[in-house]
Structure 1
Amino acid sequence: MTVPALPSFVEPCGHDIYAVDTGFHRPRFDAAYLVLHGGRAAIVDAGTNHAVPRILEALAALGLARDAVDWVIPTHVHLDHAGGVGLLVQELPAARVMAHPRAARHLVDPSQLWAGATAVYGEAEMRRNYGTLVPVPAERVDTSRDGLQLSLAGRTLEFADTPGHARHHHCLWDEASAGWFTGDTFGLSYREFDTARGAWLLPTSTPVQFDPEAMRVSVERLLARSPRSMFLTHYGRVGDVPRLGALLLALLDEMVALGRRVAALGDARHAALCEGLNTIYRRSLAEHGCTLAPEPLRQLLELDVELNAQGMAVWLDRESAGQP
C-alpha cells in the first residue's frame, strides 16, 4: 500500500507494522504498535490515556477507519502498556481486547491496578501520567492462552505465555515479519544508547512480580523461534536478536548475583541495589561503546535503576519468605 505522510510520532517498522510514540515520559520511550493487513488492524499495547489521540491520528493518517481495528492487545497491564485501553476501545466500535487470563479482570475493574501502581508511584504522579483509568466492558474482553492463534484478515498472530517480568504477560508472534511483540519480556532498549555496534538493552524487573528464573525461560523461548526482529514497547524494532538475547541474559545473571550479595543488608539494601545496578549497566554500556557524558547517562538510567531495585527487593523478600 502507498503510505501517506505520517505524523512525526509514527515510525514505519516494515511488514505493515508502525510504532506510535505514545509521548509517555520522553520521546521514543513508550510505543504502541499498529499491525495492518487486508484493510484491518490490530493494536499491540496502547500506552496511557494520553496516547489515545496519537493512536487515532495514526490510524487516520494510514487511511484506516476506526471500525477497521479488530483487536487491542496489551502485552500486560502495567499502565504504560495498558492504561489507555479502556479509553481507546470507546473510540473503536469493532475492536475486542485480547488480554492474558491473569490480566483480564484488571481491565474490566482497574481499581486494584490503580491502587498497586499508586503504591509505587504516588497519587500525584499517577494523576499526572495516567489520568483516570476507564474500565473495559467485560463483554469486549477475550483471554489468550499459550499457543492461541488469531487471524488478522489472514495474517497469523500467535500468543506465548511469558512470565518473568509479570505473571500476566504474554508476547505475540507475527508470522509475516518473523518477529515478536515482546512488551517488557525482552527488556528495554533506548535509542540514545545505540552505537556503531547497534542497540543495547537491559532487563526490567519493575515491581511487583519479577521472577528471574521465569524470565530466563521466557527469553530463551522467544529466541528459540529464531526471530528476525523484536518489537519492544521500550522502544521500537530491534534486530541482531542473538547478540541482544545473549546480552539480556548475561545482565540478568549479573542482577541476580547482585541481589544475592546484598539480600541481607536490611535498610541499606535498596541503596546497595541501586549502586550495583548502576555499576553493571555503566560497565556494559562502556563495553558497548557508549560515550554519553555522565549526566545524560545518569538521567537515562535513573528511572530504571530505581524501579529495578524496587522490583528486585520484592523478589528477594518473596524468596526469603519461601513464597513462589
Structure 2
Amino acid sequence: MALPFVHTLPHGIHVIDTGFHRPQFDAAYLLVENGRAAFIDTGTNFAVPRLLAALDDLGLARDAVDFVIATHVHLDHAGGVGLLMQELPQARLLVHPRGARHMVDPQALYQGALAVYGQAVMDREYGQLVPVPAERVHSPQDGETLHLAGRPLLFIDTPGHARHHHSIWDARSAGWFTGDTFGLSYRETDSASGPWVLPTSSPVQFEPEPLRQSVQRLLATQPQQMYLTHFGAVGDVPRLATLLLEQVDAMVLLANRLREDPQRHDALKAGLQAQARQRLQQHGVADLDAAVASLALDIELNAQGLGVWLDRETR
C-alpha cells in the first residue's frame, strides 16, 4: 500500500516527507538500485520510523541499505543519522570530512543547538543524538565517486551554506542532491511559471562568495533536476539558479546596508520579508500571504545567519 508521506520519482528515487515542522517542509531521499539502497539526508530522530516504513513498503530488508548520506550535519538533515544507522547493519555513513567528528561524537552539535533552541524544543523536535561508530563512517573527498550497486554517485564540496556541506551528483537522473546549497523551494511558492527558490543563509557558516561558486559547480554538469531537502525535486534549473544568485546578491546588499543598525536583526527580517514578498508577487503566486507565511522560519534563520556573517566580516 502506498504510504502517504512517500512520493516516488523516476530512476528509483523516493521522496520521504520527514514530518518535521509541517508537511512538505523537510525531505529525506531513498535511492534504490538493483535491490540495494541509500538514504540521502534523514531528518530528525522522529523521522526514522517513516524512513524504515518506506523500506518495508518497497520490500527492502534493513541490510539492503549500503549508505546513509548526510549532505551536511545540521539537525534537520542529519539529526536522525545515528538512530537510523542502528537499524541498518550493512550501512556506511557518508559525511563531509568537516562533519564526520560531529556524527561520531554529537555532543558539541547537540550543545550548540541546545543553546539556540532550549531544552523543550530540543526534546520535542530533535531528541537525543545517537553517535555513529567511527569505523562505520567514511568521508568522501571532493570529486570522489562511490557506487550503489554499480550506480555512480559523485561527491563534491559545496560550501556557502555550511563548510561541512557536500552535494551528490546522480548521473542516472542527471540530478544533484543539493541539501541546502541550491536553496529552498516550497510548494506554497509555486505558480503557473513553475517553482520558486530562496537562498538559505542560516547560522553559523553562511559565506556568499563560496555559495556562488558552489552553485556554479552544480550548474557545470547541466543538471535536469535538483533534489532539495526543503522540499522535493525541482526542474527548470537555469531559471532557478539565476533567481537564487540574484537573491544572494540582494541579501548581501541588504545586510551591508544594515550593518550598524541598532535594531539590525528586526530590520534584516523586515527587509528579507519585503524582498521575498516582492519577488513572489512578480512570480505570480496565487496566495501571496500563504507563500510569504511559508517562509517565516527561514526568514528568521536567514536574518540570524546574515547577522553572524556581518559580525565575522567585521572581526
What TM-score do you get using the length of structure 2 for normalisation?
0.98
Residue 236 of structure 1, aligned match among 221, 232, 240: 232
In structure 2, the residue matched to 1:305 is 299
Residue 292 of structure 1, aligned match among 276, 287, 293: 287
CA–CA separation in structure 1 for the residues paired with 2:253 and 2:293 = 25
Structure 1 residue runs of 4 or more that deviate by more than 2 Å after TM superposition: 296-299
Superimposed CA distance per residue, residues 5-62 of structure 1 (whole angstroms, 9 cap, x where no aligned partner): 3201000121100000000000011011001101100110010001100000001111
Superimposed CA distance per residue, residues 229-279 of structure 1 (whole angstroms, 9 cap, x where no aligned partner): 0000000000000000000000111001001100111x3111110011001
CA–CA separation in structure 2 for the residues paired with 1:310 and 1:281 = 16
In structure 1, the residue matched to 2:116 is 120
Tell me, yes or no, if structure 1 residue 60 matches structure 2 residue 56.
Answer: yes
Matches within 5 A, 1:267-286: 267-286=262-281
- Distance apart, 1:127 and its partner CA: 1.1
Tell me, yes or no, if structure 1 residue 33 matches structure 2 residue 29.
Answer: yes
Letter matched to residue 269 of structure 2: C
Residues 161 and 171, structure 1, Cα contact 8 Å, conserved in 2: yes
CA–CA separation in structure 2 for the residues paired with 1:109 and 1:278 = 37
Letter matched to residue 232 of structure 1: L
CA–CA separation in structure 1 for the residues paired with 2:14 and 2:115 = 33
Residue 256 of structure 1, aligned match among 252, 277, 281: 252
Residue 170 of structure 2, aligned match among 171, 174, 180: 174
Percentage of matched positions with identical amino acids: 63
Superimposed CA distance per residue, residues 156-179 of structure 1 (whole angstroms, 9 cap, x where no aligned partner): 000010000000000000010010
CA–CA separation in structure 2 for the residues paired with 1:53 and 1:274 = 35
Matches within 5 A, 1:152-191: 152-191=148-187
Letter matched to residue 279 of structure 2: S
Superimposed CA distance per residue, residues 260-310 of structure 1 (whole angstroms, 9 cap, x where no aligned partner): 100111x3111110011001100010010013153x344312111110000
Residues 6 and 58, structure 1, Cα contact 8 Å, conserved in 2: no
In structure 1, the residue matched to 2:212 is 216
Please give the root-mean-square deviation of Cα atoms over the aligned residues, in Å. 0.9
For these two proteins, the number of residue pairs brought into alignment is: 315
Matches within 5 A, 1:69-108: 69-108=65-104
Residues 281 and 288, structure 2, Cα contact 8 Å, conserved in 1: no
